[in-house]
Amino acid sequence: MIQKINIEDYFNLKGNMPLIDIRTPSEYQKGHIPNAINLPIFSNEERVKIGTTYKKIGREQAILLGFDVVGTKWRGFIEASLKIAPNKKICVHCWRGGMRSGAMAWALDFYGFEVYTINGGYKSYRNWVLQQFEKPYPIMILGGKTGSHKTTILNEIQMLGEQVIDLEGLAQHQGSAFGSRNMLQTISQEQFENKLMHQLRKMDLSKKIWIEDESVVIGNIGIPRFFWYQMQAAKVINLEIDLETRVAFLLETYGILDKDFLISATEHIRKRLGPLQTKNAIAAIQENRMEDFIRTVLVYYDKGYLRCIQKRNPETVFTLTLNYSDTKTVAEKIIEFSKDMN
């Protein structure tokens, strides 16, 4: 039995029905529904070959070629699907809900599966994702100068039962020129948006959603426009933590990184840091004076943060000065402070 459903119907299905994405590995890598399992009906190369045949010769010849390509694969598809869905209930989608998902659904149904297909396929899911960003969300921003341990604090806030979205974690980047920490940012823009919406979809919109203050771009990833506008209009708790504490935190994270990476990242902000400060920062890295390096670049980052916070509506900015103790105590103070904000 094959049933056609829309994406919200799928999310509302009882139980954790497995979802298989039968697009090519390259399509899946670019972006996919979180938790979907890739079971490609065609390889990247096979899809190109079939697409070329469709354009140059015609639809019917492309279909015949598709049958030739897939002909020996059906047993493998069914065996893989049985491992994914032992109870023989499964949901299938391709790009537009067309021939690929139709063929897979037919084969699984013929074998005895209860099969669901998503109307419009992944394309309809992407349209749904982008529409969701236009909805209002109860955002609470945690701000503060570089080195204020905001991500660590937010993790603790989440452990205390609050709703938190870690944008930097989703983007695989910590937001500054040094934010990659010499690791490759592998997520695509599309998949970042999918993962962000996957988290937002599960949130209780009657309660606050805590998010760290971010620029519109995190590494190579942009925050969706309408969601960014909401972040800019949201209330902000502006943490004031003393310079020495921030330097100590940053030494733990960045003081141990590869020197060539740190020099390259410093060169990246040369125009904004200035030639003299850039020279001083690079010399400090080369001479292993990591605390001096951090103090030098913090001047630039602190000025940048102040410019950003001053652009906000002052009625939305609430400053909280803290003597940093343990993270849990800090998180508890921030949650209590948020309750008194008007």
In whole angstroms, what is the distance from residue 105 CA to residue 101 CA?
6
In whole angstroms, what is the distance from residue 128 CA to residue 11 CA?
12
Structure tokens at 228: 């960014």
Residue 91 bears catalytic tag: no
Q: Which residue has the tokens 């079971």?
A: 39
Residue 48 to residues 25, 57, 95, 98, 112, Cα–Cα distance (Å): 12, 14, 14, 17, 31
CB 136 within 8 A of CB 108: no
Identify the active-site residue in 20, 94, 171, 322.
94
Structure tokens at 139: 């955002």
Q: What angle do CA 190, 37, 99 make, to 5 degrees?
A: 85
Stated length of the chain: 342
In whole angstroms, what is the distance from residue 171 CA to residue 185 CA?
7
Closest CA to 123 of 221, 217, 25, 30: 30
CB 174 within 8 A of CB 261: no
Q: Which residues are catalytic?
A: 94
